[in-house]
Amino acid sequence: MLLREYLKENNLTQVKFINLIEMATGNSVPQGTLAKWIGGTRIPRKEQIETIFHITDGKVEPNDFYDLG
């Protein structure tokens, strides 16, 4: 599932998702960076992908950030 779809399905704003990341890791992600992840213009680093996978209960997987089709 794409991160954009996950946020929409769960009624999460970018700010709320950033807060979830911060609670899980103690690190903040700039809103502009999250917007690039959502838009597909930037791919999160390995540690960030692991955090996203954990926060989304595995619904957003690492492969979801790559256009493999």
Per-residue pLDDT tens digits for 17-63: 999 999 999 999 999 999 999 999 999 999 999 999 999 999 999 99
Indicate if the pLDDT at residue 68 is higher than 80: no
DSSP string, 2-68: -HHHHHHHTT--HHHHHHHHHHHHS----HHHHHHHHHTSS---HHHHHHHHHHTTTSS-GGGGS--
